[in-house]
Amino acid sequence: MIKNLLLVALGGGLGSALRYLANVSVTKIWPSKLYYATFLVNIIGCLCIGLLFGYFQKNQTDHQTLKLLLITGFCGGFTTFSAFGLENYNLLQTHNYSTTLLYLGLSIIIGILCVGLGIYLSK
Protein backbone atom coordinates (compact mmCIF):
# COMPACT_ATOMS: atom_id res chain seq x y z
CA MET A 1 0.00 0.00 0.00
CA ILE A 2 2.77 2.48 0.89
CA LYS A 3 4.60 1.70 -2.37
CA ASN A 4 1.43 2.38 -4.37
CA LEU A 5 0.81 5.63 -2.51
CA LEU A 6 4.37 6.77 -3.21
CA LEU A 7 4.03 5.93 -6.91
CA VAL A 8 0.82 7.98 -7.16
CA ALA A 9 2.40 10.85 -5.20
CA LEU A 10 5.51 10.88 -7.41
CA GLY A 11 3.50 10.81 -10.62
CA GLY A 12 1.04 13.36 -9.26
CA GLY A 13 3.81 15.72 -8.25
CA LEU A 14 5.37 15.54 -11.71
CA GLY A 15 1.99 16.03 -13.38
CA SER A 16 1.16 19.02 -11.16
CA ALA A 17 4.55 20.61 -11.86
CA LEU A 18 4.08 20.16 -15.59
CA ARG A 19 0.57 21.64 -15.38
CA TYR A 20 2.01 24.68 -13.62
CA LEU A 21 4.69 25.09 -16.30
CA ALA A 22 2.09 24.73 -19.05
CA ASN A 23 -0.09 27.38 -17.39
CA VAL A 24 2.86 29.76 -17.05
CA SER A 25 3.88 29.20 -20.68
CA VAL A 26 0.40 29.64 -22.13
CA THR A 27 -0.27 32.70 -19.98
CA LYS A 28 2.88 34.33 -21.41
CA ILE A 29 1.41 33.91 -24.90
CA TRP A 30 -2.17 34.94 -23.95
CA PRO A 31 -1.81 36.95 -20.70
CA SER A 32 -5.50 37.62 -20.14
CA LYS A 33 -6.81 34.20 -21.18
CA LEU A 34 -6.25 31.89 -18.21
CA TYR A 35 -8.91 29.48 -19.47
CA TYR A 36 -6.78 28.83 -22.58
CA ALA A 37 -4.16 27.21 -20.36
CA THR A 38 -6.74 25.11 -18.53
CA PHE A 39 -8.35 24.06 -21.79
CA LEU A 40 -5.00 23.09 -23.31
CA VAL A 41 -3.93 21.12 -20.23
CA ASN A 42 -7.28 19.30 -20.14
CA ILE A 43 -7.06 18.31 -23.81
CA ILE A 44 -3.42 17.23 -23.58
CA GLY A 45 -4.22 15.28 -20.40
CA CYS A 46 -7.07 13.47 -22.14
CA LEU A 47 -4.81 12.56 -25.05
CA CYS A 48 -2.12 11.37 -22.64
CA ILE A 49 -4.46 9.17 -20.58
CA GLY A 50 -5.96 7.79 -23.80
CA LEU A 51 -2.54 6.89 -25.16
CA LEU A 52 -1.51 5.22 -21.91
CA PHE A 53 -4.79 3.36 -21.41
CA GLY A 54 -4.77 2.24 -25.04
CA TYR A 55 -1.16 1.09 -24.78
CA PHE A 56 -1.83 -1.02 -21.68
CA GLN A 57 -5.00 -2.41 -23.23
CA LYS A 58 -3.37 -3.19 -26.60
CA ASN A 59 -0.42 -4.94 -25.02
CA GLN A 60 -2.68 -6.74 -22.54
CA THR A 61 -0.23 -5.92 -19.83
CA ASP A 62 -1.04 -5.48 -16.19
CA HIS A 63 1.81 -3.22 -15.12
CA GLN A 64 0.00 -1.95 -12.05
CA THR A 65 3.12 -0.04 -11.02
CA LEU A 66 3.25 1.90 -14.29
CA LYS A 67 -0.51 2.45 -14.29
CA LEU A 68 -0.36 3.94 -10.80
CA LEU A 69 2.63 6.12 -11.66
CA LEU A 70 1.49 7.31 -15.08
CA ILE A 71 -2.31 7.11 -15.25
CA THR A 72 -3.43 7.66 -11.67
CA GLY A 73 -0.46 9.77 -10.59
CA PHE A 74 0.89 11.74 -13.55
CA CYS A 75 -2.34 12.20 -15.50
CA GLY A 76 -4.31 12.77 -12.31
CA GLY A 77 -1.82 15.38 -11.16
CA PHE A 78 -1.69 17.01 -14.58
CA THR A 79 -5.48 17.20 -14.82
CA THR A 80 -8.28 15.23 -13.22
CA PHE A 81 -10.25 16.07 -16.34
CA SER A 82 -8.38 13.26 -18.09
CA ALA A 83 -9.74 10.73 -15.58
CA PHE A 84 -13.20 12.24 -16.06
CA GLY A 85 -12.80 11.81 -19.83
CA LEU A 86 -11.65 8.20 -19.50
CA GLU A 87 -14.52 7.33 -17.17
CA ASN A 88 -17.05 8.79 -19.59
CA TYR A 89 -15.40 7.02 -22.52
CA ASN A 90 -15.66 3.72 -20.65
CA LEU A 91 -19.32 4.38 -19.88
CA LEU A 92 -19.98 5.02 -23.58
CA GLN A 93 -18.13 1.85 -24.56
CA THR A 94 -20.45 -0.17 -22.33
CA HIS A 95 -23.50 1.60 -23.83
CA ASN A 96 -24.40 3.34 -20.56
CA TYR A 97 -25.65 6.42 -22.39
CA SER A 98 -28.04 7.69 -19.74
CA THR A 99 -25.42 7.28 -17.00
CA THR A 100 -22.89 9.09 -19.18
CA LEU A 101 -25.21 12.04 -19.76
CA LEU A 102 -26.14 12.18 -16.09
CA TYR A 103 -22.50 12.01 -14.99
CA LEU A 104 -21.45 14.68 -17.48
CA GLY A 105 -24.29 17.02 -16.71
CA LEU A 106 -24.23 16.69 -12.95
CA SER A 107 -20.44 16.93 -12.74
CA ILE A 108 -20.35 20.15 -14.72
CA ILE A 109 -23.41 21.82 -13.19
CA ILE A 110 -22.79 20.78 -9.58
CA GLY A 111 -19.07 21.52 -9.97
CA ILE A 112 -19.77 25.10 -11.07
CA LEU A 113 -22.41 25.54 -8.35
CA CYS A 114 -19.96 24.27 -5.70
CA VAL A 115 -17.32 26.74 -6.86
CA GLY A 116 -19.87 29.50 -6.40
CA LEU A 117 -20.93 28.11 -3.02
CA GLY A 118 -17.32 27.89 -1.88
CA ILE A 119 -16.70 31.52 -2.88
CA TYR A 120 -19.92 32.61 -1.18
CA LEU A 121 -19.10 30.71 2.03
CA SER A 122 -15.57 32.07 2.17
CA LYS A 123 -16.76 35.71 2.24
**Per the annotation, where are the binding residues for Na(+)?**
76, 79
CA dist 18 and 77 (Å) reads: 9
Q: Would you list which residues are annotated within the binding site? A: 76, 79
Task: Render 20-46 in DSSP notation, one character per residue.
Answer: HHHHHHHHHHSTT-HHHHHHHHHHHHH
CA dist 91 and 112 (Å) reads: 23
Buried/exposed code over 39-65 (b: 16+ C-beta within 10 A; e: otherwise): ebbbebbbebbeebbeebeeeeeeeee
